[in-house]
Structure formats: structure tokens, C-alpha cells
């Protein structure tokens, strides 16, 4: 297959952790042709969406781990698969790219995850589709409602709807003298909508990343354990990743959501589960492939390529 990867700059990849790199390595080992491009390489011209893509060759060694051929404009439908692996922020440029990718789909391009599904499934708000699995949650920009929610639950998490890696996530407890300034900052004085969730003390045992590929759960998750004194388990916030077998509750959540996610065009999803509660549905560029594979021997990238090959 000819596979195009829409990615962040290759020089910024962390080869020890990057899931996109793991997917690239698996694809290359199977003899597939790899191409790389970024969001600013996309264009719509004469009714065709093209990508200024470069053939990507993996060298197998750092720091010069890749080699690129000269870039050429290629209609996206000429690839067998286009993998959207651009990290957030999910800003307007990201949204514009999904419009372009959707136009490419109309000409036959196979894009994973589907651009409409990426737009429809906000990674924080998507849990509202599955209330049977969530902790008490509030989404609002109104300070009064946020204060009422804090008064009801006494210990809550506040976070923006467009963040990643634990950025701007606050734990607020009743009586916290910084409550007002935290709410004002996160909501931009009532101009920005945020999410509040009841604090889940099970975070001390890890914020679990449960990967769902082709509608089926990977049998192992990565529990991201917060550092002492830290609320966030995100690896980007210093958490430690420990691979574990899925619990019965993890599997129940993943197997319930899996078929619905796949039907929406979401080939790869990362569910975040704390204790028994679903807290996020990550659809942009889910990670943790390498950590799970290294600790368990289960080839996560291999499972993804198997699903992709069957679909294409």
C-alpha cells in the first residue's frame, strides 16, 4: 500500500515513545510505501485535494532516522490510506484540514480517522454520548454553575475542552482561595466553555489509556501513574506508564463503545478511564503504542496495520 502520514515535523518525534513512529516502522516492515506531509502541505485546487508529500524512508537509527525524497503534489485519492496523525491543538487550522480531507474523501480518498468523526467527537465532550460510564460532569462557561458544582462535590477537576497532555488541568477543593482566579482564567472571564468533573481518587492507581482499534480493544492498557503530589497522570505531565491487562470494567466500556466508534469512522481511539469511569475519548492522535508493546510484547502497531490492511 501507499500510506500518507499527516504529521507534525519529523524532527520533533521522540522515537522512544512516538506511536506514529511505531506505526511507520510496522508499515515499512510489511513493505508498504510511506509518505509524509504536514497540514500546510494540503491544498484544494481545480476540485482536487492534493498533498505536497515526500516519500519517507526509515534508516533504522537515530538521530538521522529518516530520509525524504523530493516533495511532489499528489492527489490524496492516489494513496491507499491517509493517516491523520497531527497532534492537537484542535484549532481552526486543524478544523480547516478536516474540511479539505472530507473533500478528498468525496473523490475516493481513504482517511483514518475520518475527518467528520474527528470534528464530531470532541475529546472531552464525547463522553456525554455514554453517560452510563461517566462520573458527574458539568460543561459550562458560567462561574455560578461551576461554583454550585464545586459545592455539591467538594473536590473537582476543571479543564479546557481543547487541551491535551494534562495542560491547564486544575484540581479545586471546597474552600480553595484560588477558586475564583482558576475559573476566571480557564473560562476567560466567561468567554470560554470548560468541563468540570468530580475528582476521582482512583487516579492514584493510574489514568488508564485503553486503545480501541477497528472497534476492538487492545487487551492491555497503559495506566499512567501520577508523580507524588500530582493530580495528573499524563505522561507529558511526568506520569509513569505501567501496562496492565484490561479489567472487566475496562473491557465493558471498550466493547460497548467500540462498534459505535468504528461505525463513525474512527479506526483508532484512545479511551481514558479512571477507576470505573470514562473521562475522555481521544480521536486525534492516540498514543501509548510503544509503552504497551515494550512491557507486554503485544504488537499494538501490528494490530492497527492488520485492521487497516483489511479495510483497504
Q: Please give the positions annotated as active site.
A: 124, 159, 209, 224, 232, 272, 280, 282
Q: 300-311 and 289-296 are packed helices; what angle lies between their axes, rounded to 10 degrees?
A: 120
Give the span between the Cα atoms of 179 and 147, in whole angstroms: 8
Close Cβ partners of 283 (under 8 Å, ≥ 6 residues apart):
113, 117, 118, 121, 123, 126, 266, 268, 269, 270
Amino acid at each position: 500500500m501507499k500510506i500518507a502520514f499527516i504529521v507534525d515535523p519529523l524532527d520533533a518525534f521522540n522515537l522512544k515513545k512516538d506511536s506514529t513512529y511505531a506505526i511507520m516502522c510496522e508499515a515499512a516492515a510489511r513493505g508498504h510505501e510511506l509518505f509524509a506531509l504536514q497540514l500546510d502541505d494540503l491544498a484544494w485546487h481545480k476540485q482536487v485535494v492534493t498533498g505536497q508529500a515526500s516519500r519517507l524512508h526509515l534508516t533504522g537509527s537515530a538521530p538521522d532516522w529518516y530520509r525524504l525524497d523530493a516533495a511532489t503534489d499528489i492527489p490524496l485519492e492516489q494513496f491507499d490510506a491517509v493517516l491523520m496523525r497531527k497532534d492537537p491543538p484542535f484549532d481552526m487550522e486543524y478544523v480547516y484540514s478536516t474540511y479539505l480531507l472530507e473533500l478528498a474523501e468525496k473523490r475516493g480518498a481513504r482517511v483514518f480517522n475520518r475527518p467528520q468523526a474527528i470534528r464530531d467527537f470532541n475529546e472531552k465532550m464525547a463522553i456525554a454520548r455514554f453517560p452510563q460510564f461517566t462520573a458527574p460532569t458539568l460543561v459550562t462557561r458560567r462561574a455560578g454553575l461551576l461554583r454550585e458544582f464545586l459545592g455539591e462535590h467538594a473536590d473537582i477537576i476543571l479543564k479546557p475542552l481543547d487541551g491535551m497532555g494534562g495542560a491547564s488541568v486544575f484540581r479545586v477543593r471546597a474552600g480553595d482561595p484560588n477558586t475564583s482566579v482558576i475559573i476566571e482564567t480557564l473560562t476567560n472571564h466567561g468567554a470560554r466553555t470548560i468541563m468540570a468533573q468530580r475528582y476521582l481518587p482512583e487516579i492514584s492507581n493510574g489514568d488508564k489509556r485503553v486503545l480501541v482499534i477497528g472497534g476492538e480493544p487492545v487487551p492491555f492498557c497503559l495506566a499512567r501513574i501520577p508523580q507524588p503530589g500530582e493530580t495528573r497522570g499524563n505522561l507529558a505531565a511526568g506520569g509513569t506508564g505501567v501496562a496492565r491487562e484490561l479489567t472487566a470494567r475496562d473491557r465493558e466500556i471498550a466493547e460497548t463503545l467500540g462498534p459505535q466508534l468504528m461505525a463513525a469512522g474512527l479506526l483508532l481511539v484512545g479511551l481514558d478511564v479512571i477507576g470505573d469511569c470514562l473521562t475522555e475519548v481521544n480521536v486525534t492522535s492516540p498514543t501509548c503504542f510503544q509503552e504497551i508493546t515494550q512491557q507486554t510484547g503485544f504488537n499494538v502497531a501490528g494490530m492497527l496495520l492488520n485492521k487497516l490492511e483489511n479495510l483497504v
